[in-house]
Amino acid sequence: MSNPPWNKKSWQNFTALQQPNWPDQTAYKEVVEEIATLPPLVFAGEIRDLKKQLAQVSQGNAFLLQGGDCAEEFAMCTAPGIRELLKVILQMAVIISYAGGKPVVKVGRIAGQYAKPRSADTEIVNGVEMPSYRGDMVNRIDPTPEARKPDPARMREGYFRACSTMNILRAFTRGGFASLDRVHAWNNEFVKNSPQGQMYEKLAKNIDQAINFMQLIGLDTEIPQIKQASFFTSHEALLLGYEEALTRQDSTTGDWYDCSAHMVWIGDRTRQLDGAHIEFLRGVLNPIGMKVGPGHDIDELKKIIVTLNPDNEAGRLTLITRFGAKKISDYLPRLAREMRQEGFNLVWSCDPMHGNTYTAASGYKTRNFDLILQEIRAFFEIHWSEGTQPGGVHFELTGENVTECTGGGRNILDEQLVNNYLTNCDPRLNAEQSLELAFQLAEMLR
């Protein structure tokens, strides 16, 4: 199948699902045009670097750790908010690489994860019908029709908040905060005394000793591998006007990159072969993620994969499966087998969050730690037995001490969800639950 020529606007000739109904089209166009003149958030060279690292993941030489909020919030665009998330991801990566024996590619759901697909355009709150909350870049979560009106000024604000987030991330990861001789300092106060926190302290001590030993025998430890962390950004490429505005031509190669983030993904609800999202993403050279849930059609997926990655380039495409613990063994074995038979170069990643969501008796949307772990275990076992690589994981998590997912070391119960349930969208693992999963992952990798 040969496709007509691509350009950054060609998606506009296709159906784009899950777009807000911007009431003021003129204001919307003005914002998009303004963003198109503003600097990119990331550079093509960084995007190419991530793709190379993901190619290593597809070959089993590295592990992908992707995580962050379900819906990033403007109000959490603060130094502590960003730092706490970064800390947990750095801790998880140290655990997985040190105890699991594989380099970890770290990718945040951050600096642009401001737009959400929803199951319905409107919802009824206290008897009043209003547009659904679609993420801070579109409308406000407050349950009033006024707050829920899509406002393009929020898209401009999203761009600037993403820039601000990116800026502090670059400072944290390059300016010494993420240095491996500071691993102890990443341990969160509320986690420190838990069994996970103590296991982490032990591991941090070992790393300290290794670095001290290197210094003792005269090796230089003032090197980027120790002093800096590489950290990439990602979000769902949902609002195509925003993505188009940040799509830029690389002056050194003439290629097009979506410079809103290093990696972008297509949600399970917007990956139609003939849809606008696939059309847009086929033309940018970023690493692309694609969510795959129980509703997939294997033949359509094969066509999508060829469309997105006609040269079968390793590192270009990550399939993020999200079947749920109960369904994964019904779907993943056949999917993995057929993709292997096609010879597709893929990174296989497991999203153990979105297939395990349910509403608790207390009325809160939640996920249970054991089911999350069960899906990850099944993911590893199925890939091992099919001869494909279990390449990574995709989590919704936060550095805050939230009570949004049940279970884990502290065994959060349904009736405790109310204590600190803060998410605007899906429930996230807290820092302690995240570390616990990282230790489990390290064991599976070993």
Residues that bind ligand PEP (CB under 6 A): 70, 117, 267-269, 291, 293, 322, 354, 426
**Residue whose pair of structure tokens reads 């063994």 in the numeric block:** 329
CB of 354 to ligand PEP, least distance (A): 4
Report the residue number, 69 or 436, with the smaller CB distance to Co ion.
69
Sign of the Cα pseudo-torsion (301, 427, 389, 311, in order): positive
Report the residue number, 339 or 402, with the smaller CB distance to Co ion.
402
What mask, x for binding Co ion by CB under 5 A, covers residues 48 to 87? ----------------------x-----------------
Report the residue number, 133 or 439, with the smaller CB distance to ligand PEP.
133
CB of 198 to ligand PEP, least distance (A): 32
CB of 360 to Co ion, least distance (A): 17
**Residue whose pair of structure tokens reads 């998330």 in the numeric block:** 85
Count of residues interacting with Co ion (CB under 5 A)? 2
| Length of the chain as a residue count | 446
- Binding region for Co ion (CB under 5 A) out of 122-130, 338-346, 404-412, 423-431: 423-431
Query: Residue 268 touches which of ligand PEP, Co ion, none (CB < 5 to 8 A by kind)?
Result: ligand PEP
Report the residue number, 316 or 322, with the smaller CB distance to ligand PEP.
322
Report the residue number, 57 or 115, with the smaller CB distance to ligand PEP.
115
Select the residue whose beta carbon is closest to ligand PEP and give its number: 267
d(C-alpha 250, C-alpha 365), whole Å: 43
d(C-alpha 349, C-alpha 2), whole Å: 29
Tell me if 426 contacts Co ion by CB under 5 A. yes
Contact 32, 242 (CB under 8 A): yes
Report the residue number, 197 or 293, with the smaller CB distance to ligand PEP.
293
Cα first-last separation, the chain: 42
CB of 70 to Co ion, least distance (A): 3
Vertex 338: Cα angle to 257 and 65 (nearest 5): 45
Query: Residue 117 touches which of Co ion, ligand PEP, none (CB < 5 to 8 A by kind)?
Result: ligand PEP
Q: Which two tokens stand for residue 289?
A: 């993620």
d(C-alpha 170, C-alpha 322), whole Å: 30
Q: Which two tokens stand for residue 293?
A: 């849930």
Residue 133 DSSP code: P
Report the residue number, 248 or 291, with the smaller CB distance to Co ion.
291
Tell me if 110 contacts Co ion by CB under 5 A. no
CB of 191 to ligand PEP, least distance (A): 24
Beta pairing partners, 257? 248
Secondary structure (H, E, C), 93-117: HHHHHHHHCCCEEEEEEECCCCCCC
Q: Which residues contact 131 (CB under 8 A, 6 or more apart)?
A: 20, 21, 121, 122, 139, 145, 148, 149, 150
Vertex 331: Cα angle to 328 and 335 (nearest 5): 125
Report the residue number, 399 or 427, with the smaller CB distance to Co ion.
427
CB of 311 to Co ion, least distance (A): 31
Contact 421, 364 (CB under 8 A): yes
CB of 60 to Co ion, least distance (A): 28
CB of 426 to Co ion, least distance (A): 3
Query: Residue 291 touches which of ligand PEP, Co ion, none (CB < 5 to 8 A by kind)?
Result: ligand PEP
The binding site for Co ion (CB under 5 A) comprises 70, 426
